[in-house]
Amino acid sequence: MLTAGPAWTATADSPQTPASLLDGAEEVLVLTHHCDLAFVEECLRPARAAGARITVVYDAAAGDDDAPPGGGAAAVRDVLPVPVVMRSGGAFRPRLVVSASPAAAVVSIGSGDATPDGWLRNAEAWTHLRAHGATVPTLITDLAEWLLRLPEQLWIEPLGVERLAAVAKLLTARPHATEADEPLLLTNDLVPIVEQLPFPSGADRLSVTAPAFDAAGRALGEIVRNVRAARVRLLLPSGVRCDPVGLLVALDEAGTGADAATAGDIEEPEVRMPDGPRHHHAGAIEWWTDGAGVLVTGGLDCTPEALLCTSAEPGGNCELGLLLEVTESLVDAPDAREIALDDDALRVRPAPAAAPAVARLLGVRLLADRIEASLVAAGTTAPDGLVVTVGDATAKLPWTGAAGRLHTYASDSPGGPDGPALDGRTARVRAADGTDLGATVVTDVAGAVSRFSHPSPLETLPLPAVLGDAARLEALFTAVAQLATGRTVRHGVPARERRSSEEARLRALVGPALLDLAFGRVAIRAAAGEEPATAITAAAGSTAGHEEPSVAAAIAGLDGPGRDRLRQQVLRLGGAAAGWPLPARLAAFRLVLVLAAAGLWPAPQDWTPLVAAGLDALIAADDEAFWAEQAALATVGIAAVHHGHRLAPLAGFEDLRAAVRLDRAAPEDLVARYADGLAGAVLGAGFRAEDIAADAGELLVRSPFDDAVDAIPGAVGTVQRADGGGGVLVETTKDPRRTTLLVLDLLRDFPDSHVTVRGSAGTETHGWWNGRRLVLLTPFGGRWRGSLWPGLMTGIATYAKGASALPAAARTWITEVPQLPEG
């Protein structure tokens, strides 16, 4: 059965929403002119999490010089981008979203590009067709056949041809059966669109809307002459591309084709402009006769390239549309006001001109055995080789072959762990002679076409929503355990490159959302009232205008058994994580930390030992590829344990603090992201990145000097001087002078450390020792008496222990400040 309904879309009706996709889809295909790949990836994340492969075919020419067509400098990992170039030199302009499984399909044909404007902000016209049941209607088989013919119109990589064929195969997995009153699929690869339209012998009215018209008004004139309507209305959006003179000529012909019976009733053509803030981008043609309406929709411009040509003719576009019988007008539905073509409010722009032919990149692919790139040359020649650069990583790709204007380049190095770390981001590409060819997206093919085997529920839901559902909660902890499965070969593989392959493997297991949580790429609002900078959301725009619930609120909403169950699950998670690889430990510890900050255990004596145990497991892992995340999360973790220790002393805290060592300071931005949203009733209002960083100097950044001080009886603190030297304060009930000598001897590996010893009577002695020269300062009438021994040939421990007395000082002096004298 086929159900359909054309409509102007608001956000809730756009094709990226889960309601417009098929549950259980194996393939999702997006065809579009302009594209924002990162936006599409986020929007279609629920489909990807459910196991769908996502292919996005778009016009390689629809971009600019600074960013690749397809957009986004951020990594795009979970959709497969397929940029294409029309063989005709025209534009690739279908707007289609197909969601298919062997048993059903949802097909959306409309006018909106796969961008925030096209899917969220603009007023666009979409028709959603749902084909379910035992058979496949003609429209679906026609679409499948067109997808198989589509590569004949394009310069497209073989991988793109394979993906189109895979979708077509799913669409025709069921037997075909024609249904009554099906919409007619309109394509222009074999016959121009205009020649497929069942024009009436005369119509009551004709309505046309489009974002662009050709300068001479040829396409509009052809429609007007064929429909022969008594009344013609144009709906022109602000910013329309046209030549007003050409449109006036076409409109003047409105009455010339009318039959004799209606010629006397011809009305003056009417031009209207939609009201409201939303940009109207749809292209549609609609005529009415005796109350029956026919609608042509699908985002068609009113130009010869769209309506009067085939896609094989020079300059012809690739177009896709629908012909439907309707009972309500789509074009006349928007609120609009009558306007003159020369009114400034229309903001008329020049009619579009044909783009010049230039070389177009079709992307860079990371394959298991090579790195491959494709380029459509502007003429008969192409570069001998390409140089692909992403950050500091570079790959040189020699020319390997051509099929017409489509040239292929490939390296001998694999795109896996042994290849350069290009990892799915935007690359700058140059010819071997240095000519800049622009930017393109690098795609890890295996990652893009894989299906997640155990996706976490965070792919479609925020963490608070997961906590409120027992089944989803169990799925979350199962997904965390999945991160620990399998091991990555470390030997001989640089950490940066190994990280890329490790992430790809983990992403194929659980999807990207759980990795985002583990690696600190998103903040989570744990405590009530906190507002993290970034929230885990189900889809782009899904939380617009709504406050993301906190984890604390979700925990407060659990009943007693639900809270006890969650506590037991966290305890099991903490126990299991001790033997896991570092990425899984990161995910486990972050969950423990977030749930503790949210108040799952209100009393500090309950949550502090759990967080301490999780931190102990985190720091026990050793993986250079993820050292930054480990250091940042450990920094936040030790600060949390320290806060709990102050509230309820934790046995073994000093041992834990001594075990948490950082060879390198944690990146500040990562510390901030891990800490964001944790401040609140449990960890305190001051638990923020800047406070954590301040604590880290004492809690984490330790040195051999700190270790030596820890071994000194009575040491109560250390001081780090600007020149890098260290100092220590010691309290004693014994002779301060002898104690000073003893401490200086213990610190003999740290020359000229400033030792301050306070006796029980309040007296102080200061001392410095460099292995030969000894300086002591003792109180003298409100000031300090200094004594210097410049060449002690024996250790000072014998003097500290009273085995022998210090010889007479070589020099003494009086000073106001207890400091080492110059010279």
Please give the share of the chain, as a percent, with pLDDT higher than 90.
43
Question: What is d(CA 283, CA 252) in angstroms, rounded to the nearest whole number?
Answer: 21
Supply 482's token pair.
């999945």
pLDDT tens-place string over residues 644-703: 988 988 888 877 877 776 667 788 889 999 999 999 999 988 888 887 877 766 666 556
pLDDT (tens digit per residue) in 68-84: 666 544 557 778 999 99
- The answer on pLDDT for 65 being more than 50 is no
In angstroms, rounded to a whole number, what is the distance separating the alpha carbons of residues 273 and 280?
9
pLDDT reading at 258 higher than 80: no
Dihedral sign from CA coordinates of 671, 672, 677, 680: positive
Report residue 13: phi and psi, to 5°: -100, 0
pLDDT bracket for residue 722 (50, 70, 90): very low
- Tokens at residue 121, please? 């902000």
As a whole-number percent, the residues of the chain with pLDDT over 70 amount to 84
From the list 283, 219, 340, the residue with the least C-alpha distance to 6 is 283
Strands 80-86 and 53-59: parallel
The runs of H, that is alpha helices, within 468-626 are: 470-482, 495-510, 512-518, 551-556, 560-577, 582-597, 604-620
Mean pLDDT of 603-614: 93
Q: What predicted TM-score, i.e. pTM, was given to this entire model? A: 0.69
Q: For position 579, what pLDDT does the model report?
A: 85
Q: Note the pLDDT of residue 256.
A: 47
DSSP character for 612? Answer: H
CB–CB of 106/21 below 8 Å? yes
Q: Helix axis angle, 582-597 relative to 627-647, nearest 10°?
A: 30
Residue 203 — very low, low, confident or very high, per pLDDT cuts 50/70/90? very high
pLDDT at position 731 over 90 = no
Give me the mean pLDDT over the 437-442 stretch. Answer: 85
Quick one: tokens of 255?
Answer: 């009455």
Q: How confident is the model at residue 423 (pLDDT cuts 50, 70, 90)?
A: low
Q: Is the pLDDT of residue 642 over 90?
A: no
Q: Which pairing describes strands 205-209 and 232-235: parallel, antiparallel, or unpaired?
A: parallel
With beta carbons less than 8 A apart as the criterion, state whether 420 and 411 touch: no
If 0-12 CB within 10 Å is exposed, 13-18 middle and 19+ buried, where does residue 284 land?
A: buried
Distance CA 197, CA 199 (A): 6
User: CA quadruple 769, 775, 778, 782: dihedral positive or negative?
Assistant: negative
The pLDDT, as a whole number, for residue 42 is: 84
For residues 518 and 265, the model is more confident at: 518
pLDDT reported for residue 29: 96
Separation in Å, CA 244 to CA 283, 299, 302 = 18, 21, 14
